[in-house]
């Protein structure tokens, strides 16, 4: 899976990161490295990972040689990319490049682990809106590179009625009835059998079983009996996602994929030519 580096949010994020780090100039590099020196930068994996964001290097450097693409599974020592150019430029932009690669590859790697954990069950893993402000498009691209299905991008592209909506609207029936005027499939967060029955009676297309145990979810999924799609969310971890998947929902979503991913270890060595 390749990142869409033409997406305006992607370009904006890279430009903002460079401006934040470089500011008025890299005073250390300018003071210590000759302006004429040419160099080579090699980005190398230092742990097993699913890499993501490699394509962003084309927005940071001039004509990098990419050895992998987003979604590639890499081993220790695998080269991710090689860049030739002015030593000053490579040094100045090294940290921004690594910050993107390490963070996004961390998300893709965790996403891939979730996907692997439910292999063979037919369940799709989804991400959530629990992303770093300003980096949602990039982080969701990274999650997709790891094999998960992107949930809604924002509040504007899908209907998901949560318990606060239900409370303020005056109940499940009232909330669903109003949302159906949008002409989109309606998903409803449910926590009890009564809410499930009411949502089904109103014609909800998908039910989000929130914060149930795998055993509770299994009982309710059997009760629904394919009358609506089922998503499980709340408290899902790598340790329990398989148990949830064996309850046979259609989807399992986990905010941990984006909000709790650990950056992976990638090295950038820069050598004079």
Condensed to tens digits (0 to 9), the pLDDT of residues 240-261 reads 999 999 999 999 999 999 999 9
Residue 1 included in any domain: no
Question: Which residues are catalytic, by number?
Answer: 95, 130, 162, 189, 210
- pLDDT above 90 covers a percentage of the chain that reads 99
**Strand pairing category for 266-272 and 38-45:** antiparallel
- Dihedral angle, C-alpha 80, 84, 88, 92, nearest 10 °: -20
Is the same domain home to 132 and 178?
yes
Instruction: With H, G, I as helix, E, B as strand and everything else as coil, classify residue 43.
Output: strand
Residues 99 and 46 in one domain: yes
Q: Does 126 share its domain with 157?
A: yes
Q: Specify if 61 maps to a domain.
A: yes
Question: Can you give the pLDDT at residue 1?
Answer: 60
pLDDT in tens, 77-121: 999 999 999 999 999 999 999 999 999 999 999 999 999 999 999
Please state the domain count of the chain. Answer: 2
Residues 255, 125 within the same domain = yes
Spell out the per-residue pLDDT of the chain, length 273, in tens: 678 999 999 999 999 999 999 999 999 999 999 999 999 999 999 999 999 999 999 999 999 999 999 999 999 999 999 999 999 999 999 999 999 999 999 999 999 999 999 999 999 999 999 999 999 999 999 999 999 999 999 999 999 999 999 999 999 999 999 999 999 999 999 999 999 999 999 999 999 999 999 999 999 999 999 999 999 999 999 999 999 999 999 999 999 999 999 999 999 999 999
d(CA 141, CA 161): 25
Domain harbouring 53, CATH code? 3.90.1170.20
Contact 48, 96 (CB under 8 A): no
- Domain span at 79: 8-115+261-272
Among residues 150, 132, 143, the alpha carbon closest in space to that of 108 is found at 143
Judge if 150 and 107 occupy the same domain: no
Does residue 175 sit within a domain?
Answer: yes
Residues 254 and 265 in one domain: no
Same domain, 79 and 191: no
């Amino acid at each position: 899976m390749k990142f869409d580096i033409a997406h305006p949010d992607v370009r904006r994020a890279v430009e903002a990161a460079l401006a934040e780090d470089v500011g008025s100039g890299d005073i250390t590099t300018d003071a210590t490295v000759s302006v004429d020196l040419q160099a080579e930068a090699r980005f190398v994996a230092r742990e097993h990972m699913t890499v993501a964001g490699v394509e962003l290097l084309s927005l940071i450097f001039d004509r990098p040689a990419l050895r992998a693409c987003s979604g590639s599974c890499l081993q220790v020592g695998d080269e991710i990319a090689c860049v030739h150019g002015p030593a000053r430029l490579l040094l100045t932009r090294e940290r921004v490049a690594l910050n993107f690669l390490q963070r996004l590859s961390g998300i893709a790697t965790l996403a891939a682990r979730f996907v692997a954990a439910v292999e063979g069950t037919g369940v799709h893993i989804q991400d959530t809106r629990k992303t770093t402000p300003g980096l949602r498009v990039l982080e969701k691209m990274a999650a997709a590179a790891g094999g998960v299905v992107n949930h809604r991008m924002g509040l504007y592209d899908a209907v998901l009625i949560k318990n606060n909506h239900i409370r303020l609207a005056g109940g499940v029936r009232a909330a669903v009835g109003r949302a159906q005027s949008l002409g989109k499939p309606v998903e409803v967060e449910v926590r009890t059998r009564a809410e499930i029955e009411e949502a089904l009676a109103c014609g909800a297309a998908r039910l989000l079983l929130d914060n149930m145990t795998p055993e509770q979810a299994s009982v309710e999924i059997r009760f629904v009996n394919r009358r609506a799609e089922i998503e499980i969310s709340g408290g899902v971890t790598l340790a329990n996602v398989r148990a949830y998947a064996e309850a046979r929902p259609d989807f399992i979503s986990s905010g941990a994929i984006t909000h709790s991913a650990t950056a992976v270890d990638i090295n950038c060595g820069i050598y004079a030519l």
